[in-house]
Amino acid sequence: MWHNRYLMDIIKMFLPPGGEIIQLDKPFEKPAMGMADLDGDGILELIGAYKWQGENYIIVLKCYSGAWHVADTIKGKGYNITYFNALPITSKHKNNLIVGWQVGAIWSDLSVYEWTDMGLKDLISENKYYSKIEIKDIRSTEGKDGTYEIALWIHDTGDAYKVEVYRWSGDKFVLALHVYPYYFKKVANYYKNLLKEMDSPVYWYYLADAQIKTGNIQGALESINRGLDSKYPYPSREELMKLKAQISKY
Return contacts of 72-79, CB within 8 angstroms, 24+ apart. Answer: 72/119, 72/120, 74/119, 74/120, 76/49, 76/101, 76/111, 77/101, 77/103, 77/109, 77/111, 78/102, 78/103, 78/108, 78/109, 79/54, 79/103
pLDDT digits (tens, 9 = 90+) for 84-136: 999 999 999 999 999 999 999 999 999 999 999 999 999 998 999 999 999 99
Q: Residue 4 — pLDDT band, cuts 50, 70, 90?
A: confident
Q: Inform me whether the pLDDT recorded for 159 exceeds 90.
A: yes
Q: How far is CA 60 from CA 93, 163, 203, in A?
A: 19, 32, 43
pLDDT digits (tens, 9 = 90+) for 205-229: 999 999 999 999 999 999 999 999 9
The whole-number pLDDT of residue 26 equals 78
The whole-number pLDDT of residue 2 equals 52
Mean pLDDT of 131-143: 94
Q: Which residue has the higher pLDDT, 143 or 219?
A: 219
Q: Inform me whether the pLDDT recorded for 182 exceeds 50.
A: yes
Residue 161 in contact with residue 210, Cβ under 8 Å?
no
Return contacts of 140-144, CB within 8 angstroms, 24+ apart. Answer: 140/178, 140/179, 140/181, 140/182, 141/178, 141/181, 142/178
Q: Residue 141 — pLDDT band, cuts 50, 70, 90?
A: confident
CA-wise closest residue to 58 among 11, 25, 109: 11
pTM of the complete model: 0.94
The whole-number pLDDT of residue 31 equals 94
CATH of 1-124, picked from 2.40.128, 2.40.10, 1.20.120, 3.30.70, is 2.40.128
Residue 87 in contact with residue 148, Cβ under 8 Å?
yes
The whole-number pLDDT of residue 27 equals 75
The whole-number pLDDT of residue 213 equals 96
Q: Residue 1 — pLDDT band, cuts 50, 70, 90?
A: very low
Buried b (16+ CB within 10 A) or exposed e, 87-120: bbbbeeebbbbbbbbbeeeebbbbbbbbbeeeeb
Residue percentage of the chain with pLDDT more than 70: 99
CA-wise closest residue to 233 among 244, 218, 246: 244
